[in-house]
Amino acid sequence: MKNINKHALLFSSILLIALNAQAELSPEDGARIVHPPYRIKPNTPSFAPSGYSPQQMQKAYGLAGITNQGAGQIIGIVDAYDNPNIESDLGVFSSTFNLPACTTANGCFKKIYAAGTQPAGDPGWGTEIALDVEWAHAIAPQAKILLVEAADASFNSLIQAINVAIQNGATVVSMSWGGSEFSGQNQIDPTFNVPGVTFTASSGDWGTGVIYPSSSPYVIAVGGTTLNLDSSGNWLSETAWTGSGGGVSAYETVPSYQSGLPIPNNPNNMRGVPDVSYNADPNTGVSVYDTYGQGGWMVVGGTSAGAPQWAAIIAIVKSVSQHSLTGLNASLYTLGKQHYSQMYHDITSGTNGSCGYYCTAQVGYDYVTGLGSPVTTNLVPLLSGTSGGGGGGGGNRIPM
């Protein structure tokens, strides 16, 4: 018992140090405004869902056969401003798609104001909140959803909201927002280096280029694809989405887990973005119900759609393993080197710009779609340590 208490005390001390290590940003950097990278498909009916459904996405990425759905985990959704209708809209979304109810009353849903008082409402961010909350629940319906609303869209306010999410037990934190990189961003990185907590972030919707916080080495950066399904809802093909953010960071040095990646003309050895990818094209977007920002049903894409869904996948991984699984960023690569074709759909076509190599999907890792999109049937047991694994074999290793 003494040893167990020692380990618990050590973990608590590390966590407190991480939470108290507030980023000492300059007034200019702290006030920087970030944006939610989502795209709405135009001319879609508001009275009925017309995008991909939760069941289609679960089947496409291999989640339909996974019985564990995130039980025991808390997905922290961090966004700016307030969506006053989110709980009722989540109720409509859940009942429409036969998902379990997720409410304050049953303990599944909780909303917290990071600054202690209700933020002003913002219809644009309201749509982002609806997308994030509904689709985190769609992919991991047994996980709890903790929505933390920042007072505004500045880095200072969003960092505060992230810390509040961690203090309230979030085991995974989704950040569907970002802004241009800047020289002071390294001071924010410790915010995402918290034992037992995994962070996901959108890589951006403006094509080639890197945004923060997706470029932090402690964050899983999620790029975008165009996902095509057959008439039965099975994964048919996937290409790089033209809007997917990606490239080489100007300020973050390459983390050890990315060593060995093909980065030509990179003498300073900087981090590559994204790490992974997910359906993001609004033309193949998902159904979202939002009565505050948009007035009903819509079809939404963008890398904002991928960050909460990857967060939900990570919640399932953690639920299966029943361990904190610190360092999953690295595991995506280290296990991928042995089991690449088992864990990922390799996206090998499509571009997000006209800059040649860095803007073009490649065999293996690339700077548009990262390692690829998830094959969760294999990715979940491999990441959670519940699979016997095996050595990989011909064609499974990441082509370097």
3-state secondary structure of 361: coil
**Global confidence as pTM:** 0.92
Exposed / middle / buried, residue 127 (Cβ in 10 Å: 0-12, 13-18, 19+): buried
- Looking from the CA of 132 toward its CB, the CA atoms found within 13 Å total 36
Active site residues: 128, 132, 304
C-alpha dist (Å) from residue 256 to 157, 251, 275: 30, 16, 13
Q: Could you read off the pLDDT tens digit of each residue along the chain, which spans 400 residues?
A: 333 333 333 333 333 334 444 556 888 899 999 999 999 999 998 999 999 999 999 999 999 889 899 999 999 999 999 999 999 999 999 999 999 999 999 999 999 999 999 999 999 999 999 999 999 999 999 999 999 999 999 999 999 999 999 999 999 999 999 999 999 999 999 999 999 999 999 999 999 999 999 999 999 999 999 999 998 889 999 999 999 999 999 999 999 999 877 666 666 789 999 999 999 999 999 999 999 989 999 999 999 999 999 999 999 999 998 656 677 999 999 999 899 999 999 999 999 999 999 999 999 999 999 999 999 999 999 999 887 543 333 344 455 4
State how far the Cα of 325 lies from the Cα of 145, in Å rounded to an integer. Answer: 19
Question: Residue 12's CB: how many other CB atoms inside 10 A?
Answer: 11
pLDDT digits (tens, 9 = 90+) for 87-141: 999 999 999 999 999 999 999 999 999 999 999 999 999 999 999 999 999 999 9
Within a 10 A sphere around the Cβ of 251, how many other Cβ atoms?
18
The rounded Cα 318 to chain-centroid distance in angstroms is: 15
The string of pLDDT tens digits covering residues 233-279 is: 899 999 999 999 999 999 999 999 998 776 666 667 899 999 999 99
